[in-house]
């Protein structure tokens, strides 16, 4: 297994929203999707996912419904709500601003100051 | 509305959370299956794959709990968890739980019972509409409720402060429904009685002031609800029936409301009758005939002080108009229910005293449980440390401990309330005096339950909070490292020690007061009554009930007495208009022979007065000290004669001279000659000081009331049957109540017996609590110090030294607590002297008794810990725990 980075606090929700924005997923599917889109670079604790999903449903960003998975098993599928889509856009923008700022800050050299 | 919505959503969450958890379970299971599918694809067997998937997922419980917490501060769910954990913890130590619950059940039960008594006797106003505005009018000088009808009539007509004043008195009457008169206890009442109390009949109608037109003009009676139920089987046809009361015709007008039994708490009358029909015109006119009670409803806006001024304005007029009878008349107001302040004062004091003791017992129980809980918290030091180390918050742990405490206290309260309901039901129907409808209407009601609940919450919080400091100080690192826990507190005196000392002191107070009460009881039973109740029967009747009048009465009485004397085995027999130490008495003002102005301030003394027949003193076994007793020659034709007791002779004539043959005056100038002196006795109550008493010849002052005393030579059982047969054989149509005099004395002993019983029960409760408290601390100390004791034994300590090391502190606490409690108890017994004869704390037997009792308690409580301490074994040092 390649070196995996710890998730920054608060980033799990954004990753979940991103994963689900690509199409409805069940819980295990969310894990697989995150691992796929991050190139297995980020470690998501399997169990930590469910309280997060639960929280996002409570906040009205996701909606859940029971269905049948590709393995022909019963599973709970999550998809974005309108509020979830809006929040995802906002969070993405704010993350991009933060990341740009952080990257710029970390790349600065002594003579540029 | 917002609040309601909040409550609804809370409840929804609570009830839906189980469904939620189920759904979450299913989702996690689905996750494991999907993961296992993947693992199987990578080559694992199905079983291995599922196992691996489960391990990867980790603690499912934790995620569920996490999710439930996200539901948003759902304290109901958290509380449910706390309760579940507390339940588990308590079940794990059943002995501890049981002791705690029993302790609290006893303490809270005692409080609930005493509180219900307080509620029934003191707090609850009279059971009539707006009862709080009902007051009783008493004689202000000596707080006696008795008034005369003539004074009442003036007060009723002239006062401006009351919406109606009612007069009533207790009387006995013969009620003849179907040919045989049966004795009944009644209220004779002024005709405005029910209107003044604003009552509506349950059935039929009441009598009113407008029905009254002079003496014997209102031949009506109103049944009490319970008498109607028990004697007329609740038959509505009873209303309107014509019956005979004391041999004159009377119509049943109606039935009083359910639950109304007059304004006196203790007395439950069979029916009410207008006083103009039960008492003679002379009695009603006599201003000095003070045998009735007045109650009235204060007008709105009038204060009790204004009303008292108003009444005393009338009193001043009456004093001026009738200086003989109304000299120095002064009125005051009292709460009705317990004969105003006469019974009310001591009863209030005693019940308040009981309440205080009960509260102290509860405090002691809390102190006890507090120390048990903090000992437990110390034992759970490791558990608490571990939980703190694993990230639990201190607040959560405290809440857990408090939940445990509250669960114990609620359990105790439930058991205590259940016990008190049973006890109150028994007490509520208990009639301490046979044949007289006297009892206290007690029942557990809403206030009892509220009280129990409040006490449970209060005591749970109280002893639950005691270990808090310990938890706050807990340092997880220390706790996990050392197995022994805190030992630092063992050297100094701690809060726990203080609690125990206080508790022992409380126990000593209770033991002292109950011993004082019991000693007083014994002393009053041994003291001279001035008569001997053993082997004596008494039969009482009222000749007026069967219509005997005037000269027929003495003839009939003589005939009955002669018949009784001829019964085989009877050694002496006599009769009197009333007997000592029974319900009620009559007192007269006595003047010296030289007095000519018969106002109350000139009297020489006030004496209890009896009218007795020849042979009475022999039958009562009262010793005649000098002179003679009565003979059949002491009739109305010869000068008025009296036999007085020694106290009377001392007060009226002085001790130096013998009063035989001398004269005194009573009843406003009637001259009476002393012909004999008898020993002093008890007349009104057992705890009274020596009272002057006059015995008159019943031939010179006749009475319908007749109490026969019949003394037999062997036992009373056979005699009672013979007596009954003889009385039946005479066919007099008289109702008789026969019982032994011993049994009848229960009346006089009732107050002292009740007091001793109550104190005894509370005393043993207190003793039990002290024993468990001492035992708890002793056992705990010893178990904590087994290692140290082992070292001492290894170093050559003797048994005595080991014991001193192990239990010295407990014994010291016992000594300090007992001494303090003894001192307090002696101070408290002053209160007891109201009820218990010569309740004195300066009694060597009491002092020795308390010290012995406390020593015994200490011995019992430390026995097991001491044995355990003596088993301390140096080998323990080699073992590691």
Based on the fold, state whether residues B200 and B261 are members of the same structural domain: yes
Predicted confidence band of residue B250 (pLDDT cuts 50, 70, 90)? confident
Give the strands of the sheet with A62-68, arranged side by side: A25-26, A74-80, A62-68
Q: What is the mean pLDDT of residues B445-459?
A: 82
Q: How far is B57 from chain A (nearest CA, A)?
A: 5
Based on the fold, state whether residues B755 and B708 are members of the same structural domain: no
Task: Pick the last residue of a domain from B702, B729, B746.
Answer: B746
- The strand pairing partners of B540, in sequence order, are B707, B737
The answer as to whether A70 is a domain residue is yes
Are B700 and B146 in contact, with CB atoms under 8 Å apart? no
Q: What is the mean pLDDT of chain B?
A: 79
Partner-chain contact A27 B27, CB within 8 Å: yes
Range with lowest mean pLDDT among B231-235, B738-742, B807-811, B870-874: B870-874
The answer as to whether A5 is a domain residue is no
- The strand pairing partners of B707, in sequence order, are B540, B576
Question: What would the two tokens of residue B375 be?
Answer: 């000992």
Crossing angle (nearest 10°) for helices A11-21 and A27-37: 100
Nearest to B30 among A26, A48, A54 (CB): A26
> How far is residue B708's CA from residue B579's CA, in Å, rounded to a whole number?
9
The answer as to whether A81 is a domain residue is yes
The confidence score (pLDDT) of residue B485 equals 44
Cβ–Cβ pairs < 8 A, chains A and B: 59
Chain A window 13-72: which residues touch B at a Cβ cutoff of 8 Å? 26-29, 45-48, 50-51, 54-55, 58, 69, 71
Q: What is the 3-state secondary structure (H, E, C) of B759-806?
A: HHHHHHHHHHHHHHHHHHHHHHHHHHCHHHHHHHHHCCCCHHHHHHHH
Partner-chain contact A50 B35, CB within 8 Å: no
Nearest to B31 among A28, A48, A58 (CB): A28
Based on the fold, state whether residues B762 and B719 are members of the same structural domain: no
Q: What is the DSSP letter of B30?
A: H
The answer as to whether B451 is a domain residue is yes
Q: Using a CB-CB distance cutoff of 8 angstroms, which residues of chain A are in contact with residue B60?
A: 47
**Domain residues for A84?**
11-107
pTM summary value = 0.65
Partner-chain contact B26 A54, CB within 8 Å: no
Partner-chain contact A51 B67, CB within 8 Å: yes
Are B247 and B735 in contact, with CB atoms under 8 Å apart? no
**Strand, coil or helix: B39:** helix
Partner-chain contact A54 B62, CB within 8 Å: no
Q: What is the mean pLDDT of residues B44-72?
A: 76
Integer angstrom CA distances of residue B672 from A62, B638, B668: 110, 11, 12
> How far is residue B881's CA from residue B871's CA, in Å, rounded to a whole number?
18
Query: Which strand (E) or helix (H) includes residue B152?
Result: helix B149-158
The confidence score (pLDDT) of residue B245 equals 82
> How far is residue B881's CA from residue B111's CA, in Å, rounded to a whole number?
44
Q: What is the DSSP letter of A42?
A: B
pLDDT for residue B683 is more than 60: yes
Q: How far is B10 from chain A (nearest CA, A)?
A: 15
> How far is residue B762's CA from residue B759's CA, in Å, rounded to a whole number?
5
Q: Using a CB-CB distance cutoff of 8 angstroms, which residues of chain B are in contact with residue A28?
A: 30-31, 34-35
Are B500 and B774 in contact, with CB atoms under 8 Å apart? yes
Crossing angle (nearest 10°) for helices B381-389 and B341-379: 60
The confidence score (pLDDT) of residue A2 equals 44
Are B611 and B574 in contact, with CB atoms under 8 Å apart? no
Partner-chain contact A73 B24, CB within 8 Å: no
Q: What is the DSSP letter of B122?
A: I
pLDDT for residue B694 is more than 90: yes
pLDDT for residue B391 is more than 70: no
- List the single residue in B with minimal CA-CA distance to A28: B31
Task: Pick the last residue of a domain from B746, B779, B805.
Answer: B746
The confidence score (pLDDT) of residue B643 equals 92
Q: Residue holding tokens 């998937």? A: B53
The confidence score (pLDDT) of residue B780 equals 73
Sequence-ordered list of residues with C-beta below 8 angstroms from that of B644, at least 6 positions apart, any chain:
B607, B652, B659, B674, B676, B677, B678, B692, B693, B694, B695
Integer angstrom CA distances of residue B255 from B240, B259, B503, B760: 11, 11, 53, 42
Predicted confidence band of residue B829 (pLDDT cuts 50, 70, 90)? low
The answer as to whether A73 is a domain residue is yes
Partner-chain contact A46 B31, CB within 8 Å: yes
Torsion angles phi and psi, residue A81, rounded to 5: -95, 175
Query: Which strand (E) or helix (H) includes residue B869?
Result: helix B844-870
Q: Using a CB-CB distance cutoff of 8 angstroms, which residues of chain A are in contact with residue B63?
A: 47-48, 50-51
Question: What would the two tokens of residue B778 be?
Answer: 């002793």
- List the single residue in B with minimal CA-CA distance to A70: B34
Q: What is the mean pLDDT of residues B857-879?
A: 77
Strands (E), chain A: 25-26, 62-68, 74-80
**Domain residues for B640?**
536-746
Based on the fold, state whether residues B502 and B365 are members of the same structural domain: yes
Question: What would the two tokens of residue B447 be?
Answer: 């206030």
Cα Rg of chain A (Å, integer): 16
Give chain B's end-to-end CA distance (angstroms, integer).
60
Torsion angles phi and psi, residue B486, rounded to 5: -75, 130
Per-residue pLDDT tens over the stretch B146-191: 888 888 888 888 888 888 888 888 888 888 888 777 888 888 888 8
Torsion angles phi and psi, residue B589, rounded to 5: -75, 140
Predicted confidence band of residue A77 (pLDDT cuts 50, 70, 90)? very high
Query: Which strand (E) or helix (H) includes residue B154?
Result: helix B149-158
Based on the fold, state whether residues B408 and B435 are members of the same structural domain: yes
Partner-chain contact A74 B59, CB within 8 Å: no
Q: What is the mean pLDDT of residues B311-318?
A: 85
Partner-chain contact A29 B66, CB within 8 Å: no
Q: Using a CB-CB distance cutoff of 8 angstroms, which residues of chain A are in contact with residue B22?
A: none
Report for B124-133, B188-197, B262-271, B745-754: range of highest mean pLDDT: B188-197
Predicted confidence band of residue B72 (pLDDT cuts 50, 70, 90)? low
pLDDT for residue A32 is more than 70: yes
Based on the fold, state whether residues B617 and B510 are members of the same structural domain: no
Domain count within chain A: 1
> How far is residue B47's CA from residue B56's CA, in Å, rounded to a whole number?
14
- List the single residue in A with minimal CA-CA distance to B21: A54
Q: What is the 3-state secondary structure (H, E, C) of B669-693?
A: CEEEEEEEEECCCCCCCCCCCCCCE
Q: Residue holding tokens 């590691």? A: B880
Nearest to B58 among A28, A46, A71 (CB): A46
- List the single residue in B with minimal CA-CA distance to A26: B31
Question: What would the two tokens of residue B531 be?
Answer: 């008569």
Nearest to B28 among A50, A69, A71 (CB): A50
Range with lowest mean pLDDT among B174-188, B367-381, B416-430, B542-556: B367-381
> How far is residue B646's CA from residue B655's CA, in Å, rounded to a whole number?
9
Partner-chain contact A47 B57, CB within 8 Å: yes
Q: What is the mean pLDDT of residues B682-707?
A: 85
The CATH number given to whatever domain includes residue A47 is 1.10.10.10
**Residue B816 or A2, more confident:** B816
The confidence score (pLDDT) of residue A1 equals 40
The answer as to whether B422 is a domain residue is yes
- Using DSSP bridges, classify how beta strands B570-576 and B705-712 pair: parallel, antiparallel or unpaired: antiparallel
- List the single residue in A with minimal CA-CA distance to B61: A47
Q: How far is A47 from chain B (nearest CA, A)?
A: 5
The answer as to whether B105 is a domain residue is no
> How far is residue B9's CA from residue B36's CA, in Å, rounded to a whole number?
38
- The strand pairing partners of B250, in sequence order, are B243
The answer as to whether B112 is a domain residue is no
Based on the fold, state whether residues B705 and B824 are members of the same structural domain: no
**Residue B768 or B877, more confident:** B768
The confidence score (pLDDT) of residue A5 equals 61
Based on the fold, state whether residues B361 and B332 are members of the same structural domain: no
Per-residue pLDDT tens over the stretch B635-662: 888 888 999 998 888 888 876 457 788 8
Q: What is the mean pLDDT of residues B699-705?
A: 86
The answer as to whether A103 is a domain residue is yes
> How far is residue B628's CA from residue B695's CA, in Å, rounded to a whole number?
12
The confidence score (pLDDT) of residue A113 equals 63
pLDDT for residue B876 is more than 70: no
Are B97 and B401 in contact, with CB atoms under 8 Å apart? no
Angle of CA points B529, B664, B688, to nearest 5°:
25
The confidence score (pLDDT) of residue B21 equals 73
Q: Which residues of B touch A (CB under 8 A)?
A: 23-24, 26-28, 30-31, 33-35, 37, 56-60, 62-63, 66-67, 70-72
> How far is residue B172's CA from residue B269's CA, in Å, rounded to a whole number?
10
Based on the fold, state whether residues B691 and B804 are members of the same structural domain: no
- Give the burial class of B534: count Cβ atoms within 10 A of its Cβ; 0-12 exposed, 13-18 middle, 19 or more buried: exposed
The answer as to whether B87 is a domain residue is no
Per-residue pLDDT tens over the stretch B739-756: 888 777 766 676 667 777
Based on the fold, state whether residues B738 and B764 are members of the same structural domain: no
Based on the fold, state whether residues B642 and B725 are members of the same structural domain: yes
Predicted confidence band of residue B599 (pLDDT cuts 50, 70, 90)? confident
Chain A window 79-98: which residues touch B at a Cβ cutoff of 8 Å? none
Per-residue pLDDT tens over the stretch B79-116: 777 888 888 888 887 777 887 888 888 888 888 888 88
Based on the fold, state whether residues B549 and B565 are members of the same structural domain: yes
Per-residue pLDDT tens over the stretch B226-244: 888 888 888 888 888 888 8
pLDDT for residue B63 is more than 80: no
Partner-chain contact A73 B34, CB within 8 Å: yes
Are B376 and B485 in contact, with CB atoms under 8 Å apart? no
Task: Pick the last residue of a domain from B49, B73, B97.
Answer: B73
Q: What is the mean pLDDT of residues A25-32?
A: 89
Strands (E), B92-180: 134-139, 162-176
> How far is residue B629's CA from residue B319's CA, in Å, rounded to a whole number?
39
The answer as to whether B859 is a domain residue is yes
Partner-chain contact A47 B67, CB within 8 Å: no
The answer as to whether B656 is a domain residue is yes
Transcribe B503-519 into DSSP letters: HHHHHHHHHHHHHHHHH
Partner-chain contact A54 B70, CB within 8 Å: yes
> How far is residue A31's CA from residue A17's CA, in Å, rounded to a whole number?
12
The answer as to whether A55 is a domain residue is yes
Domain count within chain B: 4
The answer as to whether A24 is a domain residue is yes
The answer as to whether B108 is a domain residue is no
> How far is residue B672's CA from residue B604's CA, in Å, rounded to a whole number?
14
pLDDT for residue B537 is more than 80: yes
Q: How far is A72 from chain B (nearest CA, A)?
A: 10
The answer as to whether A38 is a domain residue is yes
Partner-chain contact B27 A69, CB within 8 Å: no
> How far is residue B368's CA from residue B364's CA, in Å, rounded to a whole number?
6
Burial profile B702-729: b = 16 or more Cβ within 10 angstroms, e = fewer? bbbbbbbbbbbeeebeebbebbeebbee
């Amino acid at each position: 297994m390649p070196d995996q980075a710890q998730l920054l606090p608060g980033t799990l929700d954004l990753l979940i929203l991103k994963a689900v924005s690509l199409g409805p997923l069940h819980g295990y599917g969310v894990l697989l999707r995150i691992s796929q889109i991050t190139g297995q670079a980020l470690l998501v604790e399997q169990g930590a996912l469910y309280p997060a999903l639960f929280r996002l449903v409570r906040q009205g960003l996701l909606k859940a419904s029971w269905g049948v998975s590709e393995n022909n098993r019963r599973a709970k599928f999550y998809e974005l709500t309108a509020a979830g889509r809006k929040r995802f856009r906002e969070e993405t923008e704010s993350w991009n601003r933060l990341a740009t700022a952080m990257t710029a800050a970390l790349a600065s050299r002594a003579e540029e100051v | 509305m917002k609040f309601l919505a909040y409550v609804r959503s809370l409840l929804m969450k609570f009830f839906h959370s189980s469904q939620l958890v189920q759904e979450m379970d299913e989702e996690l299971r689905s996750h494991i299956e999907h993961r296992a599918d993947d693992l199987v694809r990578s080559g694992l067997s199905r079983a291995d794959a599922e196992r691996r998937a489960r391990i990867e997922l980790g603690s499912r419980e934790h995620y569920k709990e996490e999710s439930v917490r996200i539901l948003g501060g759902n304290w109901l769910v958290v509380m449910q968890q706390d309760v579940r954990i507390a339940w588990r913890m308590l079940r794990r130590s059943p002995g501890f739980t049981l002791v705690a619950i029993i302790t609290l059940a006893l303490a809270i039960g005692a409080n609930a019972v005493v509180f219900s008594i307080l509620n029934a006797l003191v707090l609850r106003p009279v059971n009539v509409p707006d009862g709080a505005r009902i007051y009783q009018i008493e004689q202000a000088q000596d707080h006696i409720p008795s008034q005369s009808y003539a004074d009442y009539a003036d007060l009723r007509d002239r006062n401006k402060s009351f919406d109606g004043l009612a007069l009533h008195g207790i009387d006995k009457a013969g009620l003849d429904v179907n040919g045989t008169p049966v004795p009944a206890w009644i209220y004779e009442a002024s005709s405005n009685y029910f209107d003044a109390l604003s009552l509506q009949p349950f059935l039929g109608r009441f009598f009113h002031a407008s029905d009254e037109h002079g003496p014997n003009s209102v031949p009506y009676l109103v049944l009490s609800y319970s008498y109607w139920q028990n004697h007329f089987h609740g038959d509505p046809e009873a209303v309107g029936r014509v019956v005979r009361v004391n041999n004159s015709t009377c119509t049943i007008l109606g039935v009083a409301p359910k639950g109304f039994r007059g304004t006196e708490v203790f007395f439950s009358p069979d029916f009410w009758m207008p006083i103009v029909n039960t008492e003679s015109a002379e009695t009603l006119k006599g201003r000095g005939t003070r045998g009735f009670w007045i109650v009235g409803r204060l007008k709105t806006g009038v204060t009790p002080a204004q009303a008292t001024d108003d009444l005393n304005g009338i009193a001043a007029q009456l004093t001026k108009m009738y200086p003989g009878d109304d000299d120095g008349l002064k009125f005051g107001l009292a709460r009705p229910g317990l004969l105003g302040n006469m019974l009310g004062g001591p009863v209030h004091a005693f019940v308040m005293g009981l309440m205080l003791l009960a509260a102290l017992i509860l405090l002691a129980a809390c102190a006890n449980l507090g120390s048990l809980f903090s000992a437990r918290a110390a034992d759970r030091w490791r558990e608490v440390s571990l939980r703190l180390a694993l990230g639990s918050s201190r607040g959560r742990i405290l809440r857990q401990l408090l939940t445990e405490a509250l669960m114990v206290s609620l359990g105790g309260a439930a058991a205590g309330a259940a016990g008190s309901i049973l006890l109150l039901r028994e007490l509520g129907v208990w009639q301490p005096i046979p044949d007289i409808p006297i009892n206290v209407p007690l029942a557990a009601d809403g206030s009892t339950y509220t009280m129990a609940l409040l006490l449970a919450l209060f005591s749970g919080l109280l002893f639950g909070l005691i270990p808090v400091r310990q938890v706050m100080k807990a340092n997880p690192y220390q706790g996990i490292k050392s197995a022994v826990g805190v030992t630092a507190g063992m050297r100094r005196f701690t809060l726990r020690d203080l609690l125990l000392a206080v508790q022992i002191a409380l126990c000593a107070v209770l033991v002292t007061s109950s011993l004082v009460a019991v000693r007083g009881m014994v002393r009053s039973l041994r003291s001279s009554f001035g008569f001997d109740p053993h082997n004596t029967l008494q039969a009482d009747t009222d000749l007026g009930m069967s219509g005997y009048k005037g000269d027929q009465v003495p003839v009939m009485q003589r005939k009955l007495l002669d018949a009784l004397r001829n019964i085989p085995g009877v050694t002496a027999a006599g009769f009197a208009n009333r007997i000592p130490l029974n319900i009620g008495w009559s007192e007269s003002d006595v003047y010296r022979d030289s007095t000519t102005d018969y106002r109350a301030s000139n009297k020489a003394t006030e004496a209890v007065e009896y009218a007795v027949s020849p042979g009475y003193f022999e039958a009562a076994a009262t010793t005649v000290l000098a002179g003679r007793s009565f003979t059949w020659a002491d009739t109305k034709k010869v000068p008025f004669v009296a036999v007085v007791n020694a106290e009377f002779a001392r007060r009226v004539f002085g001790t130096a001279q013998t009063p035989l043959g001398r004269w005194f005056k009573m009843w406003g100038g009637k001259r009476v000659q002393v012909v004999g002196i008898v020993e002093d006795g008890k007349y009104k109550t057992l705890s009274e000081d020596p009272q002057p008493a006059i015995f008159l010849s019943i031939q010179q002052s006749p009475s319908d009331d007749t109490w026969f005393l019949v003394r037999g030579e062997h036992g009373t059982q056979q005699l009672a049957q013979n007596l009954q047969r003889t009385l039946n054989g005479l066919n007099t149509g008289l109702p008789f109540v026969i019982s032994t005099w011993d049994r009848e004395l229960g009346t006089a002993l009732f107050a002292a017996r009740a007091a001793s019983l109550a104190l005894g029960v509370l005393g043993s409760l207190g003793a039990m609590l002290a024993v468990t408290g001492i035992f708890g601390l002793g056992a705990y100390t010893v178990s904590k110090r087994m290692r140290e004791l082992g070292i001492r034994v290894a170093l050559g300590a003797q048994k005595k030294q080991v014991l001193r090391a192990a239990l010295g502190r407990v014994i010291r606490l016992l000594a300090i607590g007992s001494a303090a409690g003894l001192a307090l108890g002696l101070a408290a017994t002053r209160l007891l002297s109201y009820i218990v004869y010569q309740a004195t704390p300066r009694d060597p037997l009491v002092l020795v008794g308390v010290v012995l009792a406390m020593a015994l308690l200490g011995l019992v409580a430390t026995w097991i810990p001491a044995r355990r301490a003596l088993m301390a074994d140096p080998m323990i040092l080699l073992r590691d725990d």
